[in-house]
Structure 1
Amino acid sequence: MIEWNQIDSVLLDMDGTLLDKHFDDYFWEELIPEKFSELKKIPLDEAKRQLLAAYRAEEKTLNWTDIEYWSRRLGIDIVALKESICSRVQVHPGVEPFLHFLKQEEKQIALVTNAHPRTVQIKLGQTILTPYFDVILCSSDIGLPKEEVHFWRGAQRVLQFDKERSLFIDDNEEVLLAAHAFGIKYLFFKTHASSRVPRDDSKNFPSLRHFGELLP
């Protein structure tokens, strides 16, 4: 159980943490390969092979989530394609009651994401979560991905949080390790990032399956 009187700021990842990651898995692993296969007139398996190599080359960089970069690289209008399936965006169970509790407790609530600002706009537009956030910070605002310790130095300058009195939740263990190295005291790993993938607990951080587990 969290001692909420010890926490002033709550930093929350978006994809996989607040939102079901199945949307992204479907988009990048199924829909984009289909469109790329049609565009390049190559078999679907070959399209998937080429895309997987391209994705892996950009992991842990700003390009990884830069939809403008991928639109140029692939010759596909990523924004239009995301908008065409935006009704698939789903909020994880328990998220809204958790945010409501934080608001009542007058905690600083920050969305801290590697996602491109346009992606954030599209996805949050399908939810009622936006009013809960005091600030939305994208990695492109800092110029570094969250996997970098220096990102957190920049985030602290922007958000003015006390790392000894801050809670951060993410479904990416490498991001949590960077936040830990920076010194954020309270860290949770959001398991079950996708509703279609089995639960995957962390070996390094407390695992959170449902946000109700954090409520008093």
Structure 2
Amino acid sequence: MQLPWNALDCVLLDMDGTLLDLHFDNHFWLEHLPARYADKHGFTLQHAKAELYPLFAAQQGQLSWYCLDYWARELDLPIVGLKREIMHLISLRDDAAAFLQALQHSGKRVLLITNAHRDSLSLKLERVELAPYFERLISAHDYGFPKEQQAFWQALVSDTGIDPARSLFIDDSLPVLRSAQRFGVAQLLAVRQPDSQKGPKDTEEFAAVEDYRALLSGL
């Protein structure tokens, strides 16, 4: 995969499912949290999932879906503490380190932009040393809008001064990529296999990263 690196000044990278294996997040929301919810209420795991999954679906694409404070209030559970119980599952994708190191020496601006709540970001940083590779670590909660909304991108440009027309953005979420596309981000890449424990996904209209080392040519 040959990217027009000479035409790019800035690289915007998502975190979960893009740099970090999405297995941690999928396991937490689909298995671990329902199990703890079932324990709290004396439910079966199946009953807990039947109750929680529609609640999750109703919030997807909104900032509340990513807000740990919101779920702690809604479910009356210590969400950060429950995440910490399985934090050993947090891991960097095997192919991401070489890409991050190359970007670090490329002279380009490199920003992490994530919908993750700041508490979730802090937990990930305890396990994986991402901060040294980035000029900024930006949470959508800083702006009050998720990446699915145009207001996020407007706030990002206002805050950082990046030029979308000279930027590359990589994310595993197709709705987020479509939002970036509408805003005018020039180069967009999806992620073929965000979760190492699941198969490749259909990234539809977007070209997808299968191995970050394939992006190094010309960088």
Q: TM-score, normalised by structure 2?
A: 0.96
Tell me the distance in 2 between the aligned counterparts of 1:201 and 1:47. 29
Moved over 3 A (4+): none
Tell me the distance in 2 between the aligned counterparts of 1:160 and 1:86. 34
Shift of 1:114: 0.4
Tell me the distance in 2 between the aligned counterparts of 1:59 and 1:30. 17
Match of 1:116 in 2: 117
- Summarize the alignment of residues 45-124 of structure 1 with structure 2, pairs less than 5 Å apart: 45-124=46-125
After superposition, the C-alpha distances for 1:113-168 in whole angstroms (9 at most, x for unaligned) are 10001100101220122111100111111111111122111111112111111000
Query: Does the CA-based 8 Å contact 1:201-1:207 persist in structure 2?
Result: no
- Is it true that 1:23 corresponds to 2:27 in the alignment? no
Structure 2 SS opposite 1:14 = coil
Q: Give the aligned CA root-mean-square deviation in angstroms.
A: 0.9
Shift of 1:201: 3.3
Amino acid in the other structure paired with 1:4: W
After superposition, the C-alpha distances for 1:155-190 in whole angstroms (9 at most, x for unaligned) are 111121111110000000110000000000000001
After superposition, the C-alpha distances for 1:45-94 in whole angstroms (9 at most, x for unaligned) are 11001100110111111110111111111111011111222121011122
Structure 2 SS opposite 1:125 = helix
Match of 1:160 in 2: 161
Percent identity between the two aligned chains: 36
Query: Does the CA-based 8 Å contact 1:33-1:51 persist in structure 2?
Result: yes
Tell me the distance in 1 between the aligned counterparts of 2:91 and 2:110. 20
Q: TM-score, normalised by structure 1?
A: 0.97
Amino acid in the other structure paired with 2:3: I
Tell me the distance in 1 between the aligned counterparts of 2:108 and 2:96. 15
Shift of 1:191: 1.4
Amino acid in the other structure paired with 1:81: L
Structure 1 SS opposite 2:77 = coil
Amino acid in the other structure paired with 2:182: A
Consecutive unaligned residues in structure 2, runs of 5 or more: none
Consecutive unaligned residues in structure 1, runs of 5 or more: none
